Amino acid sequence: MTKLVQILLTKELVVNLGKDENGQQKTVTLPAGVQEVDAEIADHWFVKAHAQEITSSVAVNQELQDAHDLLTVEHEALKVQSAAADEKIAELEKSGQAKDKEIEALKVQLAKAQTLPETKPDPKAK
């Protein structure tokens, strides 16, 4: 099992590691940013020439930046959800006000109907 080491690359690197047992060229492409690679690759002269030393503060800063980026995306999603909820609340409040007006009108009609003199049905009207 090989030891993994963190390195910081400012640009993508293609590292030529020589040839394998079959005579085929061995290359590794390393993307820019903080990478976790085998110690053998980290000790390669070309990688050492292009990589920056990773201090604990750099690693922590990268973790914090990643967490910040994730929280920013989540915050934007929550703002969209909040705006949609605000629209729905406004719609429901408007609907509730319309229903309140309708109830008041029906109460007025009911009060008027209750104050009218009672009429008995005409038995001849059948």
Largest CA distance in the chain: 116
Average pLDDT of the chain, as a whole number: 87
Q: What's the token pair of residue 82?
A: 């909040």
Rg (CA), the chain: 38
* Sign of the CA dihedral running 58, 60, 66, 71: negative
Q: What percent of the chain is modeled with pLDDT above 70?
A: 90
| pLDDT single digits (tens) 61-104 | 778 888 999 999 999 999 999 999 999 999 999 999 999 999 99
| pLDDT single digits (tens) 34-44 | 888 888 888 88
For the chain, domain boundaries: 1-54, 56-112
pLDDT confidence bin for 126, thresholds 50/70/90 = low
Q: What's the token pair of residue 57?
A: 């503060």
pLDDT at res. 119: 67
Q: Do 51 and 42 touch, CB atoms closer than 8 A?
A: yes
